[in-house]
Amino acid sequence: MGNEKIETVELGNGGPRVGVQGLGCMGMSFAYGPTDADEARATLERALELGVTLFDTADMYGMGENEKFIAPFIRAHRDEVVLATKFALSVDPDDPAKRVIRNDRAYIRQAVEGSLRRLGVDEIDLYYMHRREVNVPLEESVGAMAELVAEGKVKYLGLSEVTGGELRAAQAVHPITAVQSEWSLFSRDIENGVVPAAAELGVGLVPYSPLGRGFLTGAFVQADKELAADDFRRQQPRFTGDNAAANAALLEPVRAIAEAHGATPGQIALAWLQQQATARGLAVVPIPGTRKRSRVEENTAATRIRLTEQDLAQLEPIAGKVAGARYADMTFTSAGRE
Ligand SMILES: NC(=O)c1ccc[n+]([C@@H]2O[C@H](COP(=O)([O-])OP(=O)(O)OC[C@H]3O[C@@H](n4cnc5c(N)ncnc54)[C@H](OP(=O)(O)O)[C@@H]3O)[C@@H](O)[C@H]2O)c1
Query: Which ligand 1 atom sits nearest the alpha carbon of residue 25?
Result: 45
From CA 184, how far away is CA 188, in angstroms rounded? 6
Any domain includes 222: no
DSSP per residue, 141-208: HHHHHHHHHHTTSEEEEEEES--HHHHHHHHTTS---EEEEE-BTTB-GGGTTHHHHHHHHT-EEEEE
Q: What are phi and psi of 93, to 5 degrees?
A: -60, -25
Any domain includes 334: no
Low-confidence ranges of the chain (pLDDT < 70): 1
Q: Please state whether the predicted TM-score (pTM) of the whole model is above 0.95.
A: yes
Any domain includes 312: no
Q: Which domain holds residue 57?
A: 8-213+273-305
Any domain includes 75: yes
- At residue 1, the pLDDT reads 63
Residue closest by Cα to atom 36 of ligand 1: 290
Residue closest to 302 by CA, chosen among 257, 264, 269, 271: 271
DSSP assignment, residue 219?
S
Any domain includes 158: yes
pLDDT cut 70: percent of the chain above it: 100
- At residue 94, the pLDDT reads 85
| Buried/exposed 122-148: b ≥16 CB within 10 Å, e otherwise | ebbbbbbbbbbbeebebeebbebbbbb
DSSP assignment, residue 227?
S
- Count of the separate structural domains present in the chain: 1
Any domain includes 168: yes
19 residue type, one letter: G
CA of 306 from ligand 1 middle (Å) equals 22
Any domain includes 98: yes
Q: Active-site residue numbers?
A: 61
30 Cβ neighbours under 8 A, 6+ residues apart? 61, 62, 65, 66
208 residue type, one letter: Y
Determine contact, residues 197/168, Cβ cutoff 8 Å. Answer: yes
Determine contact, residues 31/283, Cβ cutoff 8 Å. Answer: no
Q: Alpha carbon of 106 to those of 90, 126, 153, 235: distances in Å?
A: 15, 19, 15, 32
Return the H-helix or E-strand segment holding 109: helix 105-119
Angle, CA 106 vertex, CA 103 and CA 107 arms, to 5°: 50
Return the H-helix or E-strand segment holding 95: strand 95-101
From CA 199, how far away is CA 96, in angstroms rounded? 38
153 Cβ neighbours under 8 A, 6+ residues apart? 112, 116, 122, 123, 124
- At residue 95, the pLDDT reads 85
- Residues in contact with ligand 1 by the CB-under-6-Å rule are 24-27, 32, 56, 130, 160-161, 180, 208-214, 217, 219, 266, 287-292, 295, 298-299
| Buried/exposed 193-205: b ≥16 CB within 10 Å, e otherwise | bbbebbeebbbbb
CA of 321 from ligand 1 middle (Å) equals 22
Query: Which ligand 1 atom sits nearest the alpha carbon of residue 131?
Result: 3
Query: Which ligand 1 atom sits nearest the alpha carbon of residue 212?
Result: 20
HSE-CB at 149 with a 13 A cutoff on CA atoms is 19
From CA 251, how far away is CA 185, in angstroms rounded? 10
CA of 287 from ligand 1 middle (Å) equals 8
Helix (H, G, I), strand (E, B) or coil at 62: coil
CATH number of the domain at 153, please. 3.20.20.100
Best of 208, 216, 332, 334 for a ligand 1 pocket test (most atoms within 8 Å of beta carbon) = 208
pLDDT digits (tens, 9 = 90+) for 267-317: 999 999 999 999 999 999 999 999 999 999 999 999 999 999 999 999 999
Return the H-helix or E-strand segment holding 267: helix 265-280
Residue closest by Cα to atom 35 of ligand 1: 214
CA of 181 from ligand 1 middle (Å) equals 13
Any domain includes 311: no
